[in-house]
Amino acid sequence: MIKKILIGLLSILIVTFTIIYVLAQPKLENDGSYSPSSLALSLGTVAKTDFGEIKYTKYQGDKSKILVIFTEQKNLEMKNGKLFSTGNHPIESLVPMLHLKNAGFDFEIATPTGKPAVFEMWAFPNEDENVKAIYNEYKSSFQQPIKLTDFITHSFVNDSSFAAVFVPGGHGAMIGIPEDRNVAKVLNWAHENDLFTITLCHGPAALLSTTLDNQKFLYEGYKMAVFPDAIDEMTPMVGYLPGYMINSLSEKLKSLGAYIINTESDNTVFVDRKLITGASPLASNDLGKLAAETLLKELN
């Protein structure tokens, strides 16, 4: 009898682990990249965000524009050669934009070369009417953004209408953006003209661009919230990433003199001088509120 019970329990365990193994396998897409597994999606995505609409006293001044730099890249290579299907995280992009729009700001949408912005649509909160509304409102701009060189040519000369630069998160921010000299030019322009820079999760990878051509890291000594490398190291176990990442963002920023204030992928947000950062998708709503309130306080 005991033998039969043990055999039965063993069979249940085998079936359970088999199911978990299947659910934890990243999904192969048509272009050969991998999107997160069913298990990872159930653990790491939501159908509706925690966005809470706030009635801000809308900004009425001249500095009403925010440049948003989206990635146009989709596939991030892992150490094992597999490609992660990524882009801009929709919640990290759109929830902060909702707060800033409600506070009276509008957006100039840009990508490095003017190709369409790429979103991690597998993370889109399809039951969130507010997020869907702002996505649809700016959809044409996402599909036909300006290129950074055009922004630099035209807006650097007449920059009085801009209040901030926003770089959304998503692993796609680590593809090309850190090596883009035009991104570096924009961040230096924002810094020199006392504009705010807003970013979260993996978006701070853009800050690395300021070290190109042997330049000193623009944000040395700054405190910031960034997605932890330790969490990225764990996610392949549930099939979120199809392998381990080649580059470690938090450690790289720390090696350049930044102080990372969070250890978890939580809702931590922080302001240091004109840099506003958030730790993860969970920080999207709080980052939007903090950015909107900070800009209104500074500009009004």
201 is catalytic: yes
Can you tell me the distance from the alpha carbon of 154 to that of 156, in angstroms, rounded to the nearest whole number? 6
Structure tokens at 69: 């730099």
Distance between CA atoms of residues 218 and 216, nearest Å: 6
Residue 90: name the closest of 115, 118, 127 by CA.
118
Of 109, 167, 177, 201, catalytic: 201
Would you state the structure tokens that stand for residue 84, as one six-digit string? 């992660």
Token reading at 103: 């506070």
Amino acid at 197: T
Could you give the dihedral angle defined by the CA atoms of residues 183, 185, 187 and 189, in that order, rounded to the nearest 10 degrees? -150
The 8 Å CB, 24+ separation contacts for 265-268 are: 265/227, 265/228, 265/231, 268/225
Is residue 156 within 8 A of residue 182, CB to CB? The reply is: no
Pairwise CA distance, residues 91 & 96, whole Å = 8
* Residue 117 DSSP class: P
Matching residue, tokens 């549930």: 238
Which positions are annotated as active-site residues? 201
